[in-house]
Amino acid sequence: MRFIAQVRLPDSLRVGGQQMAYIFMTDYADGTYDPDAGENAIILQPAKFEPIVQCAASAMGPTLQRPIDVPGAKRREFEDTELAVTLRDVEPGGPESEQTMSQFLGEPRWLQNEEVPRGGPWRFLMQIDSAEGQYDVNFGDAGVAYVFIAEDGTQARFFWQCM
């Protein structure tokens, strides 16, 4: 799976001691749009981490990549990248909010119909707009990914919708 994002959870979503959410998605596999297909994962890490799955140390794994221009290249080239964001308050429905579908907290802005994962209740954490072009991630055609945390803090879901 490719590492997509690491998010420090706000106090309002820290039920049971979780502090971080690590988001992963299988590269170019069917079913990544389905929160229950097993092709994406969110690991919630408490302050004192006791792994519940078998873990192996690895110096490097698949990560986000961004497209780069290489003169004379026949195919698109990519390089590993790390991004950081600075959150700022944007007035809902204002001109800045129309420039991106990416969002942290609040209410989800659905690209298609409302699609809250089964087995809730869920609390919305964030959404990521792949059409912004900052990095190469396949959420379909101009897709938007959505991240939800269970109200009891025991699990999370990640999925995407596209045009």
> Mean pLDDT over residues 66-81, rounded?
81
Residue tagged 């995407």 (tokens): 160
Residue 48 has pLDDT above 60, yes or no: no
Residue 50: is its pLDDT beyond 60? no
**pLDDT category, 55, cuts 50, 70, 90?**
low
Tokens describing residue 146:
């959505």
Determine the residue type at 47: A
Q: With 80 as the cut, is the pLDDT of residue 65 above it? A: no
* Amino acid 137: pLDDT: 75
**Is the pLDDT score of 42 beyond 80?**
yes
| Number of domains present in the structure of the chain | 1
Q: How confident is the model at residue 37 (pLDDT cuts 50, 70, 90)?
A: confident
158, burial (CB in 10 Å: exposed 0-12, middle 13-18, buried 19+): buried
Give the pLDDT of residue 86: 60
Look at residue 3 and tell me whether its pLDDT is greater than 80.
Answer: yes
The DSSP result for the chain, as a single string, is: -EEEEEEEPPGGG-SSSEEEEEEEE-TT-TTTT-TTSSSEEEEEEESS---SS-----S-----EEEE--TT-SS-EEEE-----------TTSTGGGS---EESS----SSS--PPSS--EEEEEEEEGGG-SSB---STT-EEEEEEETTSS-EEEEEE--
CA distance 138 to 30: 11
In tens, the pLDDT along 92-127 reads 666 665 666 788 888 888 888 888 888 879 999 988
**What is the predicted pLDDT for the residue at 9?**
84
Cα gap 119→112, rounded to integer Å: 20
What was the pLDDT predicted at 140?
A: 77
Which domain range does residue 15 map to?
A: 2-161
Cα–Cα distance between 103 and 125 in angstroms, integer?
Answer: 9
What is the average per-residue pLDDT within 47-73?
A: 68
Contact 128, 102 (CB under 8 A): yes
Residue range 84-93, pLDDT digits in tens: 666 566 666 6
